Amino acid sequence: MSRTCPDCQNQYEDEVLHCPEDGLDLATIEPDDELIGRSIGSYRVVKPLGKGGMGAVYMAEHPVIGSKVAIKFLHPQYSTDPKIVDRFLAEARAVNIIGHDNILKILDLNVTEDNRHYFVMEFLYGRALQDIVKPDVPLPLEETGPILLQTCEALQAAHDHKIIHRDLKPDNVYLIVHKGRKNYVKVVDFGIAKVTDNEGQSTGKTQTGMVMGTPAYMSPEQAGGMTSRIDGRSDIYSLGCMMFQMATGKLPFPGSSFGEVLIGHLQLPPPEPRTINPAIPEEYQAIILKCLAKDQEARFQTMRELHDAIGACMDALGITRELPLADAAEIAAGSQGQKTRSSPGKSKPGARAALPKKITAPPRGPVSGHQAQTQMAAAAPRSSLGLIVGISAGALVLVGGVVGFVVWQQGESQKQTERSHAAATRAAEDARKQSEAAASREKEAGDSAPVFLSVVSDPLGAKVDATWKGGEKIGETPLDLEVPKNVKVHFTFARAAYLPYAEDVIADSAQVVKVTLTAEPRMASSGIGRPPRPARAPPGPKPAKIADPTNDSTIPVEF
């Protein structure tokens, strides 16, 4: 998707909310999206769900049966880059290889007529783990334990197939309702997964020194760009960061800049979780800190080891491993958009309510209306036929009343079922609206929040001048600066013995601006290419020329 500035007619990605050229607010301009309404295979694209660096995800719906899927498209500007296309498709291949119930399923993979690469995924009704991880709000092990056990199982299955996730974080762990229970885990987004061979060597094309992942959850080997050392224990470290965050409400290595966070992962020991939240059990703290060891050999060596350690800790504390039951609103929210053959509690059209069977009174005890009618008819003289008919009519009325009561009771039961279903639907709708409102508030806060840039150069110590609309900062690399989101920042770099360099960056997210300076070319000893000497002002006698005995030329000599 893109937005077109009405003043300068430049097109920008839809997350750029202000035109870098003239500062015009683009947030109110509807983005252009040619995918909405388009048919992809058997599905019709309905709306966008999210966007990342490589691709965008949309919700699509089957036009006949109404089933929903998620479709991930590679951004069109990358469709001709074989390396990026291969990395995009590697996610679908990796997930297909694993085939675990706690990992999002990939249903199809193809390319459109206009060369848009995509794959189709199952559509998840639920929420990301990030939605329940609130700043400064610790979560008890009773709630997080079952989630962590499932996550370990999913990632162990991935590691068994030589696949490392490399971007494990709360946003990539989804919680859904499954078989009447909530918090069933689906691990998503294997977009930067690393596939290794039987010897643990990478089969991908990641360049040594390239930093990939999310800074807050990076392992030290990821933060240092040591791609050859990244293995399953890197995912264990990332999960340890998540465990620390859920247990304390804080990240183990917070920072105001990308570089500050990476230094924490590389050099600083994590604080003990119990110093932040004393309610954390000591044995669970020991598990968290073992996951966060800088040395890979000091961590748990497999996800299975970590799973068993968490499970044993929960058992010792009397914490169940079972998932909690979902309430009516959560079940309704989990099944919204799925058609059913008939509504619960409703009769089929045209069906009659079942009549009650004939009531037979016991030999003793109160006499029923029908029995009273029979007894009185036998005892009455034949001349009292009118009285008998009257009594019979009264009995029929009584029986009719019983039938009517049963039918009314069934109707009330049906209405109660309908009211319960409607209440659950309203609760689910209210929860959805609240979630959308919270997401909108977070997005607005994110749109107005500043962006941190960490500027480095090779070699360090270069003078850098950063300018943007309404601001400027001058310093030497490494340099951290804070700028308004989505502005264009112009950088110039200068260092003695190196060529000057300039670069423009759109500050759409926190990032590292890294440049490699080129050394000035050295002059050859023969003098070829040597710049001319600066002219020296006369006066003075002009130099005379004397003969060079070695050749026929002459050379100037000053007296």
Q: Terminus-to-terminus CA distance in the chain, angstroms?
A: 76
Among 39, 18, 211, residue whose Cα is nearest residue 112: 39
**Domain spanning 126-329 has what CATH number?**
1.10.510.10
Using pLDDT thresholds of 50, 70 and 90, give the confidence band for residue 185.
very high
Q: Does 367 score more than 80 pLDDT?
A: no
Q: How high is the mean pLDDT of the chain?
A: 76
Question: What is the SS3 assignment for 170?
Answer: helix
C-alpha to C-alpha distance for 488 and 501, rounded to whole angstroms: 17
* Each residue's pLDDT tens digit, 251-291: 999 987 778 888 899 889 999 999 999 999 999 999 999 99
Q: Does 519 score more than 80 pLDDT?
A: yes
C-alpha to C-alpha distance for 244 and 251, rounded to whole angstroms: 7
Place of tokens 């070695």: 550
Q: Does 3 score more than 80 pLDDT?
A: no
* Each residue's pLDDT tens digit, 62-89: 999 999 999 999 988 888 888 888 888 8
Place of tokens 């996610």: 91
* Each residue's pLDDT tens digit, 433-487: 665 665 565 555 555 668 778 788 888 889 999 999 989 999 998 888 889 988 8
Share of the chain above pLDDT 90, in %: 39
CB neighbour list of residue 173: distance below 8 Å, 6 or more residues apart: 128, 129, 147, 151, 185, 186, 187, 188, 242
C-alpha to C-alpha distance for 261 and 169, rounded to whole angstroms: 15
**What average pLDDT does this structure show over 364-391?**
43
Q: Does 374 score more than 60 pLDDT?
A: no
Structural fold of domain 33-122 = Phosphorylase Kinase; domain 1 (3.30.200)
Q: What pLDDT is stored for residue 478 in this prediction?
A: 80
Residues facing residue 516 across a β-bridge:
458
Q: What pLDDT is stored for residue 194 in this prediction?
A: 60
What the block records as the tokens of 134 is: 């609130």
Q: Report yes or no: 455 and 474 within 8 Å, Cβ to Cβ.
A: no
Question: H helices then E strands: how many in the chain?
Answer: 11, 22
Q: Model pTM greater than 0.75?
A: no
Amino acid, single-letter form, for residue 193: A
Q: What pLDDT is stored for residue 244 in this prediction?
A: 98
CA distances from 450 to 257, 439, 507 (A): 11, 18, 9
- Backbone φ and ψ for 178, nearest 5 degrees, come out as -140, 120
Annotated catalytic residue: which of 14, 167, 189, 231? 167
**What average pLDDT does this structure show over 407-436?**
60
Contacts 24+ apart (CB under 8 A), 542-548: none
**What average pLDDT does this structure show over 327-332?**
82
**What average pLDDT does this structure show over 348-372?**
39
Sign of CA dihedral 406, 411, 415, 417: positive
25 is catalytic: no
For the 451-516 domain, the top CATH level (class) is mainly beta
* Each residue's pLDDT tens digit, 135-177: 999 999 999 999 999 999 999 999 999 899 988 999 999 999 9
Q: Report yes or no: 265 and 223 within 8 Å, Cβ to Cβ.
A: yes
